[in-house]
Amino acid sequence: MKADALPILFRSLELSAMERECDSAITRAEAENWGYRRLLHYLAEAEVQDCRARKIERLLKYSGLPNTETFARFDEAKMPEKVRRMLPTLRTGDFVRRGDNLVAIGLPGRGKTGFCAALGRELIERHQMKVLFVPAFKLAARLLAAKRDLKLVQALTKLNGFDVVIVDELGGYVDLTQGEVDVLFSFFGERYEKQRSVFVTTNLAFGEWEKVFKNPMTATAVVDRLVHRCVLLEFPGKKSIREEEAKQRQAAT
């Protein structure tokens, strides 16, 4: 077999990395006296790494995660103590595999959304998990539209395809209609029954969730499902992170 036939075969098998690396790998193998096992291992490893990178890129693209939120921009020393202590465990993703939830509570601007988004990004990059980031009001609107089209079951089933759904800003910013409350209740119930993780960021303590769900019984039922298997993180903070960053920028000019 001619050496130049190998890239054609790899292309036909859709092994793009092996096709791309083939010629240079063979040249190196001949120069360094590699055996065939080492050459095959090199090409196969290149293909695996390429597939992983493309999968991560695809998962990030469809996650809805904000591009700016990564742990690289966080000063871990400024994180609340419990959050900092829990971070290594959370990064393993084991709690997601168990179907546990995460609730981040704090006043606006304390870093809860950024933390959850950065954690969601790491779950994709480290473990290739499927993550969806969506504001609470948008999720409610989508599900209500699906219900009107008699497609709520299909919409909930599609959401169950995600290992994690990050429901951002479930709180006192947008007043939900009763119809939106009803579909959100269905969403939380479905995730609980299927043991699929939900991350929630909120500016309300659990005792105030009646403001969102209109009814104390409904609020209690949602909270009960969330906290049954849950990591609770509080982001107290005396000042908004955005406020502090703005002051630092002004001081630097």
Give the torsion sign (CA, 195, 182, 222, 167).
positive
Q: What are the structural domain ranges in the chain?
A: 5-60, 71-252
Q: What is the pLDDT, as a whole number, of residue 110? A: 87
Q: Take residue 2 and report the two structure tokens written for it.
A: 């001619």
Q: What is the pLDDT, as a whole number, of residue 64? A: 97
> Other CB atoms closer than 10 Å to residue 241's CB: what's the count?
18
- What would the 3-class secondary structure string for 12-63 be? HCCCHHHHHHHHHHHHHHHHHCCCHHHHHHHHHHHHHHHHHHHHHHHHHHCC
Average confidence (pLDDT) over 212-237: 93
**In the predicted structure, residue 210 carries a pLDDT above the cut 80:** yes
Please name which of 196, 195, 223 lies closest in space to residue 209, comparing C-alpha atoms.
223
**In the predicted structure, residue 3 carries a pLDDT above the cut 60:** no
pTM exceeding the 0.95 threshold for the entire prediction = no
Band (pLDDT 50/70/90 cuts) for residue 44 is very high
251 phi, psi to nearest 5 deg: -70, -30
Is-contact 83 235, C-beta < 8 A?
yes
223-239: string of b/e by CB count within 10 Å (b at 16+)?
bebbeeebbebebebee
**In the predicted structure, residue 247 carries a pLDDT above the cut 90:** no
**In the predicted structure, residue 186 carries a pLDDT above the cut 90:** yes
Average confidence (pLDDT) over 223-250: 75
Rounded Cα distance, 34 and 25, in Å: 10
**Collapsing DSSP states into helix, strand and coil, what is residue 71?**
helix
**Which residues are bridge partners to 201 per DSSP?**
104
Alpha helices in 62-160 (DSSP H): 81-92, 94-97, 112-127, 136-148, 152-159
28 phi, psi to nearest 5 deg: -65, -40
58 phi, psi to nearest 5 deg: -70, -45
Full strand arrangement of the beta sheet holding 230-235: 131-135, 164-168, 197-202, 101-106, 230-235
Helix (H) or strand (E) holding 230: strand 230-235
Which residues of 118-225 form beta strands (DSSP E)? Answer: 131-135, 164-168, 197-202
Tens-digit pLDDT profile for residues 50-88:
999 999 999 999 999 999 899 988 888 888 999 999 999
**In the predicted structure, residue 185 carries a pLDDT above the cut 60:** yes
Band (pLDDT 50/70/90 cuts) for residue 133 is very high
Q: What is the pLDDT, as a whole number, of residue 252? A: 57
Band (pLDDT 50/70/90 cuts) for residue 195 is very high
Return the CATH number of the domain spanning residue range 71-252: 3.40.50.300
